[in-house]
Amino acid sequence: MDILTPWLRSYLPELSVTDAQLAEDLTLRGIAVEGTFPLEGALTGTRYEMDITTNRVDAMNHYGVAREAAAIYNVALATISQTEPIAETASGDSYPVTIEASDLCGRFTARVIRGVTVKPSTGLIADYFAALGQKPISGPVDVTNFGWLAMGQPTHVFDLDTLEGGIIVRRAKAGEKLRLLDGSEHILVTDDLVVADQKKALALAGVMGGWDSRVSETTKNILVEAAWFDPAAIRASSRRHGLHTDASHRFERGADFNAAPLANNLVTRIVVEQTGGHVAGPMTDIIIPAIAGKTADRPAIALHVAEVQRHLGTTADGIGISEQIVAQYLTALGCTLTQTAPGAYAVKLPSWRLDLEREIDLIEEVARVYGYNKFANTLPSFTGTVIELPHATQEAAIRTTLRGLGYSEAISSTFCSAEEAAAFTTAPAVALGNPLSAEAGMLRPALTPGMATMLAHNLHRDVSTVRLFELGTVFTGSTASVAEHTGLSLGLTGNANATALYKAEDSLFYELKGALETLLAKFTGTHTLDANDLPTWIAPGRGARILLDGTPVAVFGELAPAELQRRKLRQPVAMAEVHAATLLAHPLRQPASRDLSRFQAVERDFSFVFPDAVRWQAIDAAIRTLAIPELQSIAPVEIFRDAKGKSIAAGSYSLLTRVVFQSPERTLSDEDLTTSSARITAALTALGGVQRA
């Protein structure tokens, strides 16, 4: 937003610093001036182009910035004279107002002005608007815009003669229509808050006024309104109807609960001055105590000067932050300090600073106004040593292993949709209270939804070969009780090539299986595979489950056709979901070294036909249990099935297994090799294998 220094200085009569120095000092204290531009025309001074953070809605106006400057320089801050109470000049009753939606509207003020003559704005308002580039509309409407530019409180003026009965602040009726000031017509829902009369909706509360009750050149009587509306309700309506206005920008960030009557007085005074009208009856001011207790009447915060000094440490001049400085800065910012003990205060918070909630917030305010650049460059004291996280070494081993296998680590969103949460896990997912969108309404109960999204993202951008893994936190339970644990997901697609052990269409499955087995080999325990209890996101017959010491630790397989179609994927994708918490409960295997043998290694091949029920794990175990001292390695070399059942019967397969023998002490004799080979042949035969000639 833009701020004019002549307007600022009207509230700071004692301010003597230059506009350039003021801009620098404000910026150093978080009220950032992004650019400065000299004024031309009727005003002299500077226009500041400012970037005010969303939590500082109190500084999104000239008086709020002036308050900051008064605190920085310890100068007097003048009041806005027009906000003082104004008495009616004609007798009458206060205008009737009813707040039906008392949870969404905490305060509503209204005042009647009769006998106005609507004409263009002149004088200081016209000069300020010209310097700011603010479009003038008509006298009374310009005054409402002047009001929020001056003190940050949005107001609105209605043509009183278009109102039927008193004001009612209520939720909209389903399907109710409202034409707004910009000419657009909107169909309202029951979650919208409206300002209405006895017959119709007059305005979308906190966002924009209505067309039918607008002030025009023919208006003779005006109703001035200033209110406090619930930030969440205004934000929801603003987004629902695609409207972002100056009013909604402030209301949805938390307006000042006590500003409504002051702003009403300001607008009323200036409208009377400009239009020649008169005030009829007293101001209506309806307050909802429950909301006042959460905003303007919040409990005081206990502040200890010793805590301020402990947190902020030494200043550059070596003097430090004194109790006097603490009281001076907080008082200048609008706080009321009541001493409860030596060096201790109960701090009553100003109604315009809803971002202050704890003692540390007040300490930060003292540091901010004092100036972060005025503190000595010191490091905080520290005793003890750095403590490594419990599973840091194991997680490092997981990352190193997977990177070595060609996988790149990725990070996906912590959120997913309810549909994806249900598709990828049966665990209860945690719903967000205020989701960014329907596609990000749940905390992820598994990493697979994000992995599928990342793989699809790559494929849709012509990256056809992808190998990714993610190690991160997943969330289960309910909003009341959220359980967090570590998850691991792998995903791959593309580069599917046939080998001697499997066909090209099976390569993704076996590559992923090999990666998981390599990873599990880093940890203690024995793993087994089965095809039980597989999730629905795995294609039928194309997945498996891994158990570590009998406990399920991972599921993996190809993505189901329905999931491929939902993501518009045209090539197979394989993924794995690893319960990393179960894996991390096992320690890493400790590496052991031995001297290399200087004697010749000997290879022997064993070709057997096995029933399909006999798996490699059983074959490997049968050979290793023989405990042959010279046995160095066992590996499958080639697998063969005959679809026609001629050379290999249906339901069987031929496997060529290669075994390496080597002794660390001597050269193996033919007798040694024959004896060991015979034992291996007998063991494989006992498994149901038939040796091929």
Other CB atoms within a 10 A radius of the CB of residue 92 amount to 12
Residue 591 within a domain: no
- Same domain assignment for residues 464 and 538: yes
* CATH code: domain of residue 643: 3.30.70.380
- Same domain assignment for residues 254 and 335: no
What pLDDT band is residue 381 in, cutting at 50, 70 and 90? confident
Cα gap 413→580, rounded to integer Å:
18
Residue 592 within a domain: no
- Same domain assignment for residues 219 and 279: yes
What pLDDT band is residue 328 in, cutting at 50, 70 and 90? very high
pLDDT digits (tens, 9 = 90+) for 505-558: 999 999 999 999 999 999 999 888 999 999 999 999 999 999 999 999 999 999
Residue 381 within a domain: no
Q: What is the mean pLDDT of residues 44-62?
A: 94
CA 333 to chain CA mean position, Å: 30
Q: Which two tokens stand for residue 168?
A: 């009612």
Does residue 596 or residue 380 have the better pLDDT?
A: 596
Give the model's pLDDT for residue 362: 96
Secondary element (H or E) of residue 548? strand 538-548
What pLDDT band is residue 433 in, cutting at 50, 70 and 90? confident
Give the model's pLDDT for residue 317: 85
Concatenated DSSP letters of 132-195: HTPPP--HHHHHHHHHHHHHS--EEEEEGGG--SSEEEEEPPTT-EEEBTTS-EEE--TT-EEE
Q: Are 329 and 370 in contact (CB under 8 A)?
A: yes
Q: What is the dihedral of CA 74, 80, 84, 90, to 10 degrees?
A: 170
Give the model's pLDDT for residue 434: 77
361: Cβ contacts below 8 Å, ≥ 6 apart: 301, 355
Residue 335 within a domain: yes
Cα gap 200→177, rounded to integer Å:
9
pLDDT digits (tens, 9 = 90+) for 642-667: 888 888 999 999 999 999 999 999 99
Give the model's pLDDT for residue 437: 79
- Same domain assignment for residues 307 and 286: no
- Same domain assignment for residues 289 and 310: no
Cα gap 492→499, rounded to integer Å:
18
What pLDDT band is residue 678 in, cutting at 50, 70 and 90? very high
- Same domain assignment for residues 326 and 212: no
* pLDDT > 90: percent of the chain: 82
Residue with tokens 């209270």: 433
Residue 91 has pLDDT above 80, yes or no: no
Residue 369 within a domain: yes
Best CA proximity match to 256, nearest among 64, 1, 100: 64
Q: Are 510 and 501 in contact (CB under 8 A)?
A: yes
| SS3 labels along 504-537 | HHHHHHHHHHHHHHHHHCCECCCEEEECCCCCCC
Give the model's pLDDT for residue 395: 95
* CATH code: domain of residue 25: 3.30.56.10
Give the model's pLDDT for residue 105: 97
Concatenated DSSP letters of 369-399: HH-GGGB---PPP--S-----TTHHHHHHHH
Q: Calculate the average pLDDT of the chain.
A: 93
- Residue 83 is classified by DSSP as G
Residue 435 has pLDDT above 90, yes or no: no
CA angle 552, 556, 561 (to 5 degrees): 135
Residue with tokens 């010209």: 130
Other CB atoms within a 10 A radius of the CB of residue 319 amount to 9
- Same domain assignment for residues 105 and 250: yes
Does residue 86 or residue 233 have the better pLDDT?
A: 233
- Same domain assignment for residues 279 and 308: no
pLDDT digits (tens, 9 = 90+) for 679-689: 999 999 999 99
Residue 594 within a domain: no
Handedness of CA 236, 242, 246, 247 (dihedral sign): negative
CA 394 to chain CA mean position, Å: 29
CA 681 to chain CA mean position, Å: 62
Give the model's pLDDT for residue 378: 79
pLDDT digits (tens, 9 = 90+) for 350-363: 999 999 999 999 99
- Same domain assignment for residues 579 and 626: no
Q: What is the mean pLDDT of residues 421-436?
A: 86
Q: What is the mean pLDDT of residues 277-297?
A: 94
Does residue 434 or residue 74 have the better pLDDT?
A: 74
What pLDDT band is residue 41 in, cutting at 50, 70 and 90? confident
Other CB atoms within a 10 A radius of the CB of residue 541 amount to 9
3-class DSSP state of 354: coil
Residue ranges in 276-408 assigned as alpha helix (H): 289-294, 305-312, 323-332, 359-370, 392-404
Does residue 389 or residue 163 have the better pLDDT?
A: 163
pLDDT digits (tens, 9 = 90+) for 438-454: 788 899 999 999 999 99
Cα gap 241→182, rounded to integer Å:
13
Q: What is the mean pLDDT of residues 284-292?
A: 96
Domain endpoint, select from 274, 294, 314: 294
Residue 377 has pLDDT above 90, yes or no: no
Domain endpoint, select from 346, 374, 402: 374
Q: Are 671 and 602 in contact (CB under 8 A)?
A: no
Give the model's pLDDT for residue 518: 95
Cα gap 319→313, rounded to integer Å:
10
Does residue 334 or residue 276 have the better pLDDT?
A: 334
Q: Number of folded domains in the chain?
A: 5
Residue 296 has pLDDT above 80, yes or no: yes
Residue 630 has pLDDT above 90, yes or no: yes
Type of residue numbered 525? G
Q: Which domain holds residue 522?
A: 392-584
Q: Are 549 and 526 in contact (CB under 8 A)?
A: yes
Q: Which two tokens stand for residue 451?
A: 């992995």
pLDDT digits (tens, 9 = 90+) for 610-624: 999 998 889 999 999
Residue 89 within a domain: no
Distances (CA, A) of 212 to 181, 257, 352, 429, 471: 8, 28, 33, 47, 58
Give the model's pLDDT for residue 208: 96
Handedness of CA 7, 8, 10, 16 (dihedral sign): negative
Residue 274 has pLDDT above 80, yes or no: yes
- Same domain assignment for residues 550 and 611: no
Give the model's pLDDT for residue 248: 94
Q: Which of 59-73, 86-100, 229-243 has the lowest mean pLDDT?
A: 86-100
Residue 188 has pLDDT above 80, yes or no: yes
Q: What is the mean pLDDT of residues 134-150?
A: 94
1: Cβ contacts below 8 Å, ≥ 6 apart: 50, 52, 60
Residue 379 has pLDDT above 90, yes or no: no
- CB-count burial class (<10 Å; 0-12, 13-18, 19+) for 572: buried
Residue 406 has pLDDT above 80, yes or no: yes
| CB neighbour burial string for 655-683, b if at least 16 within 10 angstroms, e if fewer | bbbebebbbeeeebeeebeeebbeebeeb
Give the model's pLDDT for residue 319: 84
Concatenated DSSP letters of 628-662: -TTEEEEEEEEEE--TTSSSS-TTEEEEEEEEEE-
What pLDDT band is residue 579 in, cutting at 50, 70 and 90? very high
| SS3 labels along 180-217 | ECCCCEEECCCCCEEEECCCCEEEECCCEEECCCCCCC
Residue 386 within a domain: no
Residue 592 has pLDDT above 90, yes or no: no
Domain endpoint, select from 43, 78, 113: 78
- Same domain assignment for residues 337 and 265: no
Give the model's pLDDT for residue 617: 87
- Same domain assignment for residues 497 and 571: yes
